[in-house]
Amino acid sequence: MVTLGIDIGSTTSKCVMLRGGTDIVATSLVPGGIGTNSPDRAMAEVLAKSGLSAGDISYTVVTGYGRSNYKGADMQVSELSCHAFGGRFVFPKLRTIIDIGGQDVKVVSLSEAGKMTNFIMNDKCAAGTGRFLDVMAGILQIKLGDIETLAAMADKPSSISSTCTVFAESEVISQLAHGSTVPNVVAGICESVASRTASMVKRIGVTEQVCMSGGVAQNGGVRRALEKTLGVPIAYSPLSQLFGALGAAIYAYNKLQHEK
Amino acid sequence: MVTLGIDIGSTTSKCVMLRGGTDIVATSLVPGGIGTNSPDRAMAEVLAKSGLSAGDISYTVVTGYGRSNYKGADMQVSELSCHAFGGRFVFPKLRTIIDIGGQDVKVVSLSEAGKMTNFIMNDKCAAGTGRFLDVMAGILQIKLGDIETLAAMADKPSSISSTCTVFAESEVISQLAHGSTVPNVVAGICESVASRTASMVKRIGVTEQVCMSGGVAQNGGVRRALEKTLGVPIAYSPLSQLFGALGAAIYAYNKLQHEK
Ligand code: SF4
């Protein structure tokens, strides 16, 4: 039995196709989220990769910020539940998920049994989200993918005192004008995201195993700064950005099992 | 006896020269605040306008965000106290001052006797400050001075759902792309600042007479939106942007009176 999970985020759309609730058949990740044709493109891509057709899919669950506008699924499920399912699939002892997306940050606590017991979310303020990193990368004229390497080259990370993206932007411009090196500023930016995220994580409690998900999870610079700030190792998998879609596909599978 | 008040803000420097604690001899307002030579330029300008020399000034009080780095004054006084003094000088029955500056928002409550009884401040988030308006004016490619006229031309003000400056920026760009007119977007921006400010004012209580001060007070678009949101008239004077400097000059005068 093949199930499909679609995760429509603010900046990307993702699909995971699952066979028998355990085998990942194919995945896709397409830039562009809610309000674009990316969900359809992500769907087309996952079908092409799998060699299957839409008719082969027994059940489709959609999740993510853009789920309520999507018509092609059998069911909508909240992204928090899907993240919990997807996270546990990859890390069976997972207790804390730190999900930093393009426009929001969510921290989810799981019980030993894997049930969501608490969560905290910021979707009102760009500080500490992927958007903050985008703005900073724009000022520095660097690619997001270069942040990890640049941060590792820092000898004296800048300290960025403003939390606000807008004020931090001015601070970074002034630091560069006063001679701070790009690696030091980049390291300061990573620490700024880490300290903002850490204060959210601490409000909900840090129970190991901890992992990061969402687009920013790929950013080793932020991940390492967050490990240092929280004082715990943070697990990461190349599947981390797909937790929502993966969880949705698992949800779809479980749903069919219950209906049998 | 001539006293001088200097107010060094985040984006402008202001001076007010006072004779006998009651007569305004001269004023100046120079763009550029803390970390620039604007305080000296504002000082030079007020001296030139008054025809007096530095030696004619009996006492100088400095206030504002940049006060602690300024060496040329006899005393530093917090901007909240100075705003209270300055506000009462212009509006003798004033009870609530809403000060929207370049980078912060302060709301000050005064007792019937004019003493500061409470205050609330946001200096962490650019939303609702002059900076928010700067960013929006930049996107719209309009001058801050045009906001009032443009807002008055709106037939259907846009609704901006994001409070965050960064997210509101994207929202405005997308509204323009979808055909919203500049006047409607400008009116929406004014309402956004007003609603954010109003929620601060309501936390501290709205006691009439209410006035606006700070750079944004000059912006009739925001002022009118705030009057509508709060449901009270908001007093404004061309001196509103000088309340801090004026209060500092009054403070200097009172200080000398007590020392006699
Ligand atoms: S602090 Fe800055 S980034 Fe956060 S909501 Fe305010 S304007 Fe946006």
- Please give the residue of chain B at the shortest CA–CA distance from A122: B164
Instruction: Compute the distance between CA of residue B127 and CA of residue B122 in angstroms, rounded to an integer.
Output: 9
Residues B5, B248 contacting (CB under 8 angstroms):
yes
CA distance B163 to chain A (A): 7
Three-state DSSP at A232 gives coil
Is beta strand B2-8 parallel, antiparallel or unpaired with respect to A234-235?
unpaired
Q: What is the pLDDT of residue B214?
A: 86
Min Cα–Cα distance to chain B from A176, Å? 16
CB A214 within 8 A of CB A99: yes
User: What is the maximum span of chain A, computed from C-alpha positions, in angstroms?
Assistant: 67
Is beta strand B96-100 parallel, antiparallel or unpaired with respect to B210-213? parallel
What are the structure tokens assigned to A131, written together?
């958007």
Where residue A33 falls among pLDDT bands split at 50, 70, 90?
A: confident
Confidence of residue A65 (pLDDT cuts 50, 70, 90): confident
Evaluate whether A102 touches A129 at the Cβ level (below 8 Å).
yes
**Residue pointed to by tokens 């801090």:** B244
User: Is pLDDT above 80 for B247?
Assistant: yes
Would you call A257 exposed, middle or buried from its count of C-beta atoms within 10 A (0-12, 13-18, 19+)? exposed
Model pTM score: 0.87
Query: pLDDT tens, A182-203?
Result: 999 999 999 999 999 999 999 9
Output the CA–CA distances (angstroms, integers) from residue A10 to A16, A33, A79, B163, in the order listed.
Answer: 18, 5, 12, 17
Which of A31, A9, A28, A29 shows the shortest CA–CA distance to A17? A28
Q: Do B125 and A125 touch (CB under 8 A)?
A: yes
- A57 C-alpha vs ligand 1 centroid, how far in Å? 42
Q: Which residues of chain A approach chain B closer than 8 Å at the C-beta? A: 103, 124-126, 131-132, 135, 162-167
How confident is the model at residue B10, as a pLDDT? 82
Opening angle at CA B237, ends B27 and B45, nearest 5: 10
Sequence-separated (6 or more) residues with CB below 8 Å from residue A114: A84, A88, A94
Per-residue pLDDT reduced to its tens digit, A122-173 = 999 999 999 999 999 999 999 998 999 999 999 999 999 999 999 999 999 9
List domains and CATH numbers for chain A: 1-91+238-260 (3.30.420.40), 92-236 (3.30.420.40)
